[in-house]
Amino acid sequence: MFHEFMIYYDFVLVDEITRIPEHFGPWWNVHLTYSYLIILAGLICLLIKLKRKSTPNKKTVFAILIGSSFLIFWNFLFAVPFDLQSTDMSVTLSGLSHLFCIVTIFSAVRFDNIEQMILLTEKNREILTPYPVFIVDLHGIVVYFNSAGEDLVRQKSLSPYGEFTFENFLAKYNKIEISKNIPLAGVYTSFMLEDPVTKMIWYVQGHPLYNRFSTKMGLSYTFNNISYINQLMATMEKYAFRDMLTGAYNRHFFEIKKDSIYESAQESMSIILCDIDNLKKVNDLYGHAEGDVYIKACSRMIFKSVRKKDLVFRIGGDEFLIMLPDTEESTAETIVSRIHEKMDVPAYDGKFLTGLSIGYATSKVKNTDDFRSLMIQADKSMYRNKQERKVGR
340: pLDDT strictly greater than 70: yes
- Tell whether 118 is covered by a domain: no
pLDDT digits (tens, 9 = 90+) for 124-133: 555 556 788 8
More confident residue, 51 or 224: 224
Amino acid letter at 243?
D
> Where is mean pLDDT largest: 34-43, 56-65, 318-327?
318-327
pLDDT at 84 over 50: no
As a whole number of angstroms, the distance between CA 201 and CA 191 comes to 11
Q: What is the pTM of this model?
A: 0.49
| Cα separation, 135 vs 116, whole angstroms | 11
CATH number, domain containing residue 374? 3.30.70.270
- State yes or no: pLDDT of 289 exceeds 70: yes
Are residues 60 and 153 both part of a single domain?
A: no
User: Is 318 labeled as catalytic in the residue annotation?
Assistant: yes
The pLDDT score that the predictor gives to residue 9 is 43
- Residue 183 resides in a domain: yes
Separation of alpha carbons 267 and 140, rounded Å: 47
Residue predicted with more confidence, 206 or 230 = 206
pLDDT above 50 for 10: no
Per-residue pLDDT, 125: 54
For residues 224 and 250, membership in a common domain is answered with no
pLDDT tens figures, 137-160: 888 888 888 878 887 887 766 666
State which residues form the domain around 209.
Answer: 125-229
Contacts 24+ apart (CB under 8 A), 163-171: 165/140, 165/141, 166/134, 166/136, 166/140, 166/141, 166/142, 166/221, 167/140, 169/134, 169/142
What's the pLDDT score for residue 17? 53
Q: Is 18 exposed, middle or buried (0-12, 13-18, 19+ CB in 10 A)?
A: buried
Q: What is the pLDDT of residue 180?
A: 47
pLDDT value at residue 310? 94
* 45-60: b (≥16 Cβ within 10 Å) or e: bbeebeeeebbbbeee
Tell whether 102 and 69 lie within a shared domain. Answer: yes
Residues 174 and 210 in one domain: yes
pLDDT classification of 352: cutoffs 50, 70, 90: confident
Q: Flag whether pLDDT at 86 surpasses 50.
A: no
Query: Is residue 65 located within the same domain as residue 177?
Result: no
pLDDT surpasses 90 at 334? yes
Model pLDDT, residue 321: 96
pLDDT at 303: 94
Tell me whether residue 235 is in a domain: no
**Cα distances (Å, whole numbers) of residue 317 to 247, 272, 280, 338, 340:** 14, 16, 10, 23, 20
Same-domain status, 42 and 106: yes
- pLDDT recorded at residue 287: 92
Q: Does residue 151 fall inside a structural domain?
A: yes
Phi, psi of 159 (to 5 degrees): -75, 165
* pLDDT tens for each residue of 159-187: 666 678 888 888 888 877 655 444 444 44
Do 97 and 140 belong together in one domain? no
Q: Is residue 237 part of a domain?
A: no
Look at residue 185 in the predicted model and tell me its pLDDT. 41
Highest mean pLDDT among 109-123, 128-142, 229-243, 330-344: 330-344
- What pLDDT does 94 receive? 59
Q: What is the mean pLDDT of residues 285-308?
A: 92
Residues 388 and 256 in one domain: yes
Q: What is the mean pLDDT of the chain?
A: 76
| Residue 316 domain flag | yes
Mean pLDDT of 235-251: 87
Last residue of a domain, one of 203, 229, 255: 229
**Strands (DSSP E) found in the chain:** 133-137, 142-145, 174-177, 189-194, 201-210, 216-225, 268-276, 311-314, 319-325, 356-364
**Residue 81: pLDDT band with limits 50, 70, 90:** very low
The active-site residue, picked from 15, 88, 318, 369, is 318
- Count of alpha carbons within 13 angstroms of residue 2, beta-carbon side: 0
Any residues with CB less than 8 A from the CB of 332 and at least 6 apart, and which?
270, 271, 272, 324, 360, 362
Residue 323 contacts residue 271 (beta carbons within 8 Å): yes
- How confident is the model at residue 158, as a pLDDT? 67
Percent of the chain's residues with pLDDT above 70: 63
Lowest mean pLDDT among 35-49, 102-116, 259-273, 368-382: 102-116
**Maximum distance among all alpha carbons in the chain?**
132
Pairing of strands 268-276, 356-364: antiparallel
Whether the CB-CB separation of 246 and 318 falls below 8 Å is answered with no
Compute CA distances 214 → 81, 125, 135, 351, whole Å: 47, 20, 18, 87
pLDDT at 27 over 60: yes
304 shares its domain with 191: no
